[in-house]
Amino acid sequence: MEVYNHAPLGYRAEDGKLVPIDEEQRVVADIRQLRGKGLSMRRIADDLNSRGIIGKRGGRYYASTIKAILDDDLHDRLTA
């Protein structure tokens, strides 16, 4: 898949292609796992922030960030 904008959490752009970043892939997996356990998006963001996990652009996580990550089917498409 070619990159035309900023790379999403879990990937970096390299020569116009998305390349997985293991550490960020684990964060995405954590987010999905916590959501699967029934945690709200706000609670997931609070959990990541309390653990000191920095967002893709160097900032905090918010419920809207978590929603965007969960709504993005990119991870499913690239691993299928």
Query: Whole-angstrom Cα distance, residue 37 to residue 64?
Result: 19
28 contacts 75 by C-beta, under 8 angstroms: yes
Query: Whole-angstrom Cα distance, residue 60 to residue 20?
Result: 21
Report pLDDT for 76.
61
Q: Which residues pair with 18 in a beta bridge?
A: 13
11 contacts 20 by C-beta, under 8 angstroms: yes
Report pLDDT for 74.
73
Query: Which 8-state DSSP code applies to residue 53?
Result: P
pLDDT in tens, the chain (80 residues): 554 567 889 989 888 888 999 999 999 999 999 999 999 999 999 999 999 999 988 899 999 999 999 998 776 655 44
